[in-house]
C-alpha cells in the first residue's frame, strides 16, 4: 500500500518529468531523494530563527522539508528560474515565512535586500552549474557569498563535482560528501563564509 510521502514523491517526479521536457535548464528528470533532503537539512541549525535562501527549489522538495523544521520567526527565500516551478511554489506554499521569486540565482543579493534582510544564515544551491558558462558560475558563487552573513553556510548539491573548482576561488574550506541514495547520486558541498 502506498503511503502519503510516497504519493507526494510520485507527484513531484511526474511534475519534474514534464518540466524537464519543456525546459533544457533543468538538470534532472526526478526531484532529490528524501535521503538527500535529510542529509542537507542535517547541516542546518534549526534551533534559532534563520534566514535561508534556496536557489533552484524546483517544485519544493527541499522547501517543504525546511518549512517543517524552521522556527516561526524564520524566513525562507526561494529563487526559481523556471516559470512553471515558480508559479507552482507561489500557489502551493501559503506561509508568511516564505517569499518566492521567479528570477536567477545571480540576483540573490538584490533579492535578499528586497526582502529587507541584510544577509542569510544559509544558502542552498541546487541549480545545474554544468549548463552555465565559466564567468556566470563564478558570479553566482560570488553573489551567494556576498548574500551570506559571516559564519553563514553555503550548501551546494550537484550531479558532478565540477563546481568544486569554482567554490575554491571563493571559499577556503570545502567539505564534500556524496549521497548515493539519489538518482543520480549527488555531490554535496558545504562551505562557511
Residue 27 maps to a domain: no
Residue 39 maps to a domain: yes
Residue 80 maps to a domain: yes
Residue 20 maps to a domain: no
CATH number at residue 38: 3.40.50.150
- Name all contacts of 29-35 with Cβ < 8 Å and 24+ positions apart: 30/183, 31/58, 31/59, 31/61, 32/61, 32/62, 32/126, 32/157, 32/182, 32/186, 33/179, 33/181, 33/182, 33/183, 34/5, 34/9, 35/179, 35/181, 35/182
Residue 8 maps to a domain: no
Domain that holds residue 149: 34-192
pTM of the model: 0.85
**Per-residue pLDDT for the chain (193 aa), expressed as one digit of tens each?**
445 454 455 555 555 445 444 545 544 546 789 999 999 999 999 999 999 999 999 999 999 999 999 999 999 999 999 999 999 999 999 999 999 999 999 999 999 999 999 999 999 999 988 767 888 999 999 999 999 999 999 999 999 998 999 999 999 999 999 999 998 999 999 999 9
Residue 73 maps to a domain: yes
Q: How many domains does the chain have?
A: 1
Amino acid at each position: 500500500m502506498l503511503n502519503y510521502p510516497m504519493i507526494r514523491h510520485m507527484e513531484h517526479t511526474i511534475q519534474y518529468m514534464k518540466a524537464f521536457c519543456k525546459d533544457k535548464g533543468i538538470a534532472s528528470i526526478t526531484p532529490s531523494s528524501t535521503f538527500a533532503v535529510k542529509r542537507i537539512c542535517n547541516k542546518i541549525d534549526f534551533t534559532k530563527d534563520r534566514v535561508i535562501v534556496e536557489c533552484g527549489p524546483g517544485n519544493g522538495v527541499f522547501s517543504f522539508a525546511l518549512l517543517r523544521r524552521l522556527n516561526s520567526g524564520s524566513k525562507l527565500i526561494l529563487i526559481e528560474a523556471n516559470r512553471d516551478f515558480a508559479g507552482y511554489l507561489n500557489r502551493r506554499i501559503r506561509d508568511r515565512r516564505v517569499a518566492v521569486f521567479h528570477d536567477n540565482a545571480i540576483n540573490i543579493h538584490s533579492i535578499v535586500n528586497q526582502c529587507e534582510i541584510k544577509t542569510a544564515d544559509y544558502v542552498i544551491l541546487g541549480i545545474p552549474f554544468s549548463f552555465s558558462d565559466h564567468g556566470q558560475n563564478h558570479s553566482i558563487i560570488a553573489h551567494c557569498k556576498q548574500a551570506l552573513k559571516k559564519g553563514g553556510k553555503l550548501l551546494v548539491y550537484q550531479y558532478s563535482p565540477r563546481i568544486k573548482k569554482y567554490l575554491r576561488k571563493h571559499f577556503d574550506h570545502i567539505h564534500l560528501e556524496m549521497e548515493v541514495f539519489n538518482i543520480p547520486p549527488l555531490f554535496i558541498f558545504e562551505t562557511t563564509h
